[in-house]
Each structure stands twice: as C-alpha cells, then as structure tokens.
C-alpha cells in the first residue's frame, strides 16, 4: 500500500507518521507514505499557494494550479484508487470506511487549509471526501494523519497480533469490552474471575456480553445497528 499526502504544512505530518506502528509499517515495507509540500508546486516567487476568494469574503482559498500540478506528477508515477479530500462537509469517517480503504493499493489524501480549496479541484479531481467530525480545525493535516493511521494499522503484516484489529471498537458495530492486566488485585480492586479461568469459550462469551452492554449504554445508535445486523427486531 502507498499513501501520498498533499499538504502546505508537511512538518505537521512528519513526526506523527514517523512513530510507533506507522514507522514499523514503513520499516517492514508494508506501506509507503509520501508527504508532498504543496509549495514545491507553486509558481509564485514567494511560494504562495493561496489567494482571495472570488466574490469577496473573509479567508483565503488554496489555489487550483499547485494542487493540480502535484496531482498530475503523482498520477504520472502510478495509478490511484482514490483521491481523498479532507473536509468538514465530507462523509463521516468510521471503522467500516477504514476497513474498505485498507484494501486499496494506492491513495492520495489532500489536506485542505484556510477556507478550503478551489471548488474545481473537488469537482474534477477528487474522488472521495472525508470528514472526521462535525467541527472545524485549522487544516486537514491532523485529520489526514488520523485517517492514515486507521487505514495502515489494518493492513496485513502491520500489527504484531493479526487478530488485534478485529477486536477493536466499532468492528461489528460494538464497542470493545473492558480490558485488564497485572496485577489481578490492587487495593481491593479485582479482575473479573472469568478472565483468570483460562476457559476460552467462557472468556469470549463474557467479552461479547460486556461489549454489547457497553455499546447499549454508551452508543445506543450503534447498539440499534448491531441488533439490526443480527436480524433482531426491537
């Protein structure tokens, strides 16, 4: 898998994408991450990539030409499955979307900034638009990093325990059950005995029960979807 991220602030991504699981994934050769500075594609003597919006109004807009120039350079090198634009009015990102994107071969993620990008980029070049929530942040770099993290950790060979990602929250529309580690007793606080029993079937049954209860209590809309997926009428 390869993910190319286009940004006017590459330093925001360098540290995040070079740590922990993401770094190991790259070191193993499971994934390649390219970070592309939009200013490298500017023809402006001052390397500006933004301009005033036609029609007036507050805020600046990312220009069409540097973005398109970068996209064309990348597309000349390989074929991409998706060109993703991070934007508050995109489709809400979730685990199902992460699962789908993790099966892709090559992705481009375009980070918005200022008041956004020239609409012609969205109309003629972008193939998917993703939001991480109903709020606005300074730019698309942090959202892009979150999406990349969620995708990459699902790629085969990234996690040391291949089954770990399958028990994450939101898989099968359930939140993850409680987890415990050593010591088994601390200041009178004990780990549930079933987890110490060594009985795999009973442990799995307990975890499923706890996942269902936690989802019902904390995310009733997910719980309703879980019931629907199970063919259970409410």
In this predicted structure, the answer to whether residue 234 has a pLDDT above a threshold of 90 is no
Q: In angstroms, rounded to a whole number, what is the distance separating the alpha carbons of residues 116 and 105?
A: 27
Q: Do domains 2-152 and 169-229 have the same CATH topology?
A: no
What is the model's pTM?
0.87
- For residue 54, what are the CA distances in angstroms to 39, 51, 104? 22, 9, 37
CA dihedral 92, 94, 98, 100 (to 10 degrees): -80
CA dihedral 122, 9, 109, 141 (to 10 degrees): -100
Residues with Cβ within 8 Å of residue 150, at least 6 apart in sequence: 93, 95, 98
Q: What confidence score (pLDDT) does residue 159 get?
A: 81
- Give the confidence band of 167 by pLDDT, cuts at 50, 70, 90: low
**In CATH, 169-229 is 1.25.40.10:** no
What CATH number matches the domain at 2-152, 3.40.1280.10, 1.10.10.10, 3.20.20.70, 3.40.50.300? 3.40.1280.10
226, 173 contact by CB (below 8 A): yes
Rg (C-alpha) for the chain, rounded Å, is 22
- Give the confidence band of 156 by pLDDT, cuts at 50, 70, 90: confident
Q: What confidence score (pLDDT) does residue 63 get?
A: 95
137 versus 163: which is more confidently predicted?
137
- Give the confidence band of 164 by pLDDT, cuts at 50, 70, 90: low
100, 81 contact by CB (below 8 A): no
Span of 94-108, 120-134, 154-168 with lowest mean pLDDT: 154-168
Mean pLDDT of 6-31: 93
Tell me: the pLDDT tens digits for 113-132?
889 999 999 999 999 999 99
160 versus 95: which is more confidently predicted?
95
66, 110 contact by CB (below 8 A): no
Please tell me whether residue 191 adopts helix, strand or coil conformation.
coil
Please tell me whether residue 198 adopts helix, strand or coil conformation.
coil
Running DSSP on this structure, what letter comes out for residue 92? E
- Give the confidence band of 162 by pLDDT, cuts at 50, 70, 90: low
58 versus 187: which is more confidently predicted?
187
Residue 217 has a CB neighbour count (10 Å cut-off) of 10
Q: Where are the domains of the chain?
A: 2-152, 169-229
Tell me: the pLDDT tens digits for 207-231?
999 999 999 999 999 999 999 999 9
Tell me: the pLDDT tens digits for 32-75?
999 999 999 999 989 999 999 999 988 999 999 999 999 999 99
């Amino acid at each position: 898998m390869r993910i190319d991220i286009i940004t006017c602030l590459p330093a925001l991504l360098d540290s995040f994408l070079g740590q922990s699981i993401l770094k190991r994934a790259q070191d193993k050769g499971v994934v390649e991450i390219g970070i592309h500075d939009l200013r490298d594609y500017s023809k402006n003597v001052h390397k500006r990539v933004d301009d005033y919006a036609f029609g007036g109004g507050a805020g600046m807009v990312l220009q069409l030409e540097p973005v398109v120039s970068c996209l064309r350079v990348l597309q000349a090198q390989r074929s991409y499955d998706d060109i993703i634009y991070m934007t508050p009015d995109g489709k809400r990102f979730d685990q199902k979307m992460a699962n789908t994107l993790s099966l892709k071969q090559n992705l481009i993620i375009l980070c918005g900034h200022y008041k956004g990008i020239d609409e012609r980029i969205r109309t003629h070049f972008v193939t998917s638009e993703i939001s991480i929530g109903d709020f606005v942040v300074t730019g698309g770099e942090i959202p892009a990093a979150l999406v990349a993290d969620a995708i990459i950790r699902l790629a085969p060979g990234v996690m040391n325990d291949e089954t770990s990602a399958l028990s994450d929250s939101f898989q099968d529309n359930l939140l993850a059950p409680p987890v415990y580690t050593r010591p088994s007793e601390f200041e009178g606080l004990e780990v549930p005995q079933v987890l110490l029993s060594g009985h795999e079937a009973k442990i799995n049954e307990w975890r499923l029960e706890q996942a269902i209860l936690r989802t019902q209590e904390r995310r009733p809309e997910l719980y309703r979807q879980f019931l629907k997926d199970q063919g259970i009428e409410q």
